[in-house]
Structure 1
Amino acid sequence: MTGNGTRVRSDVGDAKAALVEAIQDAVGDRLRDVWVLDQRTQEPLFLREDVADRISDVDVEKYLDNERYGFVTRETYDLLHYSEFRYTHRGFDTWELFRTFVEHDDQQVGVVVGVDADGSNYDFGALTDDVHAVADEHGIGALVPVADGE
């Protein structure tokens, strides 16, 4: 736990720590949570204490299963449009969700980020670039989620 009431996983690898750091640099103290996911599992990398308390009785896996649809819809959008699909942004009454995917060959990893909805104008395009820069530097394999017990 850090001094500002956040839970930072200390057991994540260098690439995942770099990912969280890049996202924190972009959104600051408004960062709520960071998750990585693939088609079958997910891993929390960062969870702010108040968010951890709020989701303690929520079926997070079910929620993230919905975000997995992005693996399919991303491909669909890329086939339908003349430009590449880069990220998803959803607004809720107290927080906002950002989701993007990084890929190389047949390997894909989703990155899901929660931020406070406090009137800030987040630059999600730049955040997408930051996530991709970490993936380019460390490789997609270093961001693959590790299931509990693995």
Structure 2
Amino acid sequence: MTKKKILFLLSFLMITMVFGQKKNDVSKVSDAAERLRSAMISGDKKSLEDLILPELTYGHSGGHIDDATEFVEKLVSKKSNFLTIDITNQTIKIVGKTAILRHHFFAKTADLGKEPGEVSLDILLVWVKTKGDWKLLARQAVKAEKKI
């Protein structure tokens, strides 16, 4: 085999591996986002803590920002109580060990001390690959534009 053929073959294998890994990472980030959705509904402390980094910054559409402790505490105590969460229009972009996930978030809520309600938000999630697992580092919500 000539050097050119060997170089071509090695290049082809490397490209195949890189694209295969990205596809696998997209699937794993999507799975992590689904586990987060379920954990936010259940309020299961361990599940929530397993999905986030201690440095989490969790931005709400009203401007308040929770740290990791506050984020978990609100869901466990049902101060923030999601009855349902529906995710649509999800996109995921992998950049190295960082994933940028965007989606539309529609939820029915029954927060402690408040009337049941609904929220319709556009969400940006930033996930970081840490020791082979994807962990949530940042989240920002904005109120979804009303469609006419």
TM-score surpassing 0.5?
Answer: no
Give the TM-score taking structure 1 as reference length: 0.27
Which structure ranks higher in relative contact order (CA pairs < 8 Å, sequence separation ≥ 6)? 1
Indicate the structure with greater strand content: 2
Give the TM-score taking structure 2 as reference length: 0.27
